[in-house]
Amino acid sequence: MRPCGGSPWGMTDLPPSRYGVYVQADLASRIGRSAVGRLINRGELVRYCRGVLIQRRQAGEFRARACAALTMVGPDAVLTSHTAAYLHGCTAADPGAVHVLVGYGRKLHRRHIGLVVHHGRFEPSDVVEVDGLRVLALDKVIADLLCRSQPGTALACADQALALAPRERKAELWAEIDARIADRDDPRGRRRGATLLDLATGLPESPAESWLLLILFDAGLPLPEPQHEVHDRHGRVLYRLDFAWTEARLALEYDGYEAHLGREVADAARATDLRRRGWTVVRAAADDLRDPTRMINELRDALRFHHVAA
């Protein structure tokens, strides 16, 4: 039975909110302090921090946590680092902790598990809205990751950012990231950031391929061409190789579990046909990301066999 003018079973209707996040004082002014207390006691609202509540069914959602963090820190804060990159579509970023950026002079008196606070300078023009949240602009986010974050993840995010950009915007976005690196207030990481950006093309089709490219670079191997197309005699595309050293007709193919599940027969036929066409194919898997020794040795031997400096 639904009470007249009320909610079923005496429940209190919650007003709409972005991602189920509420400022407790504002919510109390709308539905009453006692109603808020009942909702908390019943577990329908959970406390993100003192003064900020989230609907329980949304409390674990990434955007709800990001919204709650911004609500707690205040309107002068902006999402940054991995959180911002993830919202921009770079799924290689870590969506675990929520990263917020505030000005240098801002002090926070409240701490929260899962919240990382960064201090730095940013202009209003550096802030964009993504999914209704204040987020640092993509070029600045990627520049910061390239300079300060884990290199493999940062490169994968840069590749994803370039891949998501329209064709006519890719070169412009790359140049904007480059300028952000050069203009950083903090000089630490500039050289590393510029080096990683030089590796970013937007062509790798998975974060693992970006990680592989970084491994090849760190090993001192000549850089391969990503997503190299192999054509038949009529010019039709037969295969797209993850990485290729064309002068040695050497290919490196990454066997991601999901991408290749159930394709073992087709992959074997592809490898046989490539060998018939004069290609040497080295295969890599997740284990080679953890210990690339075997893969690097095979590639180096193949390059030397074809008289390519390695």
Which of 30, 58, 86 terminates a domain? The answer is 58
Q: pLDDT of 261-297, one tens digit each?
A: 556 788 888 889 999 999 999 999 999 999 999 999 9
252/272 same-domain check: yes
Average model confidence (pLDDT) across the chain: 91
Identify the bridge partners of residue 251 per DSSP, sorted by sequence position. Answer: 244, 281
User: What share of the chain in percent tops pLDDT 90?
Assistant: 82
Count up the domains in the chain and report the number: 3
- Nearest-angstrom CA–CA distance, 246 and 241: 11
Q: pLDDT of 83-105, one tens digit each?
A: 999 999 999 999 999 999 999 87
Answer yes or no: is 6 within a domain.
no
The alpha carbon of residue 50 and the mean position of all alpha carbons in its chain are separated, in whole angstroms, by: 30
Q: What is the pLDDT of residue 202?
A: 98
Residue 4 has pLDDT above 60, yes or no: no
The DSSP 8-state label assigned to residue 56 in this structure reads G
30/73 same-domain check: no
Answer yes or no: is 10 within a domain.
no
pTM here is 0.89
211/244 same-domain check: yes
Answer yes or no: is 4 within a domain.
no
40/71 same-domain check: no
Task: Look up the domain containing 286 and give its range.
Answer: 207-305
173/95 same-domain check: yes
27/145 same-domain check: no
Answer yes or no: is 219 within a domain.
yes
Which of 157, 179, 199 terminates a domain? The answer is 199
